[in-house]
Amino acid sequence: MFEFSLPNSKIIYYPNLWSLDEANFLFKELKSRIKWQQYYITLFGKNHPQPRLTAWYGDQGKIYTYSGMTLYPHGWIKPLIIVKEKIEPIINTKFNSVLLNLYRDGKDGMGWHSDNEKELGKKPVIASVSLGAQRRFLLKPRDKKNNLREEIILSHGSLLIMAGETQEYWLHQIPKTSKPVAPRINLTFRFIVDN
Ligand SMILES: O=C(O)CCC(=O)C(=O)O
Ligand SMILES: [Mn+2]
């Protein structure tokens, strides 16, 4: 376990929360069983496929809207429940939904953003599980005048927690890479507040 000491944040990394065998099993299960979907973003009136596949699972009615899309959750399946029930007691937090991303290769990624949608409430706890190829996870302050930077290599079977004021003060991204890289699955467990 490693706690980062960036200002206005609470970021904790558990590099090997799952053994290699467990992580391999979860990757295989999720890759084949999750209902992966290609979503599109509209930029200047043109539709572009997002550079990754996505799926939203959770308790019934936990609707999630982001980047102008509305996602209705699929019901929980066993491998997701296994992961959820392992991480909840570790961070003493209950989750009611999970966003999954499949980065098929280095051309897939996710641009700078923070997880600050209003349905996540104030100071959300985000639990991010990584399976498959390791990728760089970059952090930078929302304040453009601040040149602090952080980089975490998210490895197979790891858990990254972002809590406290992290989403208010920091942006994060998964950059694309020209290096050959195998597929990666990321799960971000979230708690959708009732509205
Ligand atoms: O793939 C990752 O590690 C990050 C995913 C992410 O930031 C998100 O789903 O909001
Ligand atoms: Mn995010």
In Å, how far from its chain's centre is CA 6?
Answer: 19
CB 5, CB 150: distance < 8 Å: no
CA atoms within 13 A on the CB side of 136: 13
Tokens of 23: 């992580």
Tokens of 21: 């065998």
Q: Going from the N-terminus, what domains does the chain have, and what CATH number goes with each? A: 2-190 (2.60.120.590)
- Best mutation site among 125, 128, 138 for ligand 1 pocket (most ligand atoms within 8 Å of CB): 128
CA atoms within 13 A on the CB side of 20: 0
CB 61, CB 75: distance < 8 Å: no
What separation in Å is there between the alpha carbon of 182 and the centre of ligand 1? 17
- CB of residue 174 inside a 6 A radius of ligand 1: yes
Identify the pLDDT of residue 148.
97
What separation in Å is there between the alpha carbon of 113 and the centre of ligand 1? 9
- CB of residue 50 inside a 6 A radius of ligand 1: no
Tens place of pLDDT for every residue, the chain, 195 residues? 999 999 999 999 999 999 999 999 999 999 999 999 999 988 889 999 999 999 999 999 888 887 778 889 999 999 999 999 999 999 999 999 999 999 999 999 999 999 999 999 999 999 999 999 999 999 999 999 999 999 999 999 999 999 999 999 999 999 999 999 999 999 999 999 985
Identify the pLDDT of residue 195.
59
Quote the CA–CA distance of 184 and 108 in Å, as a whole number: 10
Pick the atom of ligand 1 nearest to 160's CA. Answer: 3
- CB of residue 115 inside a 6 A radius of ligand 1: yes
Identify the pLDDT of residue 64.
86
Per DSSP, helices labelled H in the chain are: 20-33, 78-91, 166-169
What separation in Å is there between the alpha carbon of 195 and the centre of ligand 1? 24
Pick the atom of ligand 1 nearest to 126's CA. Answer: 10
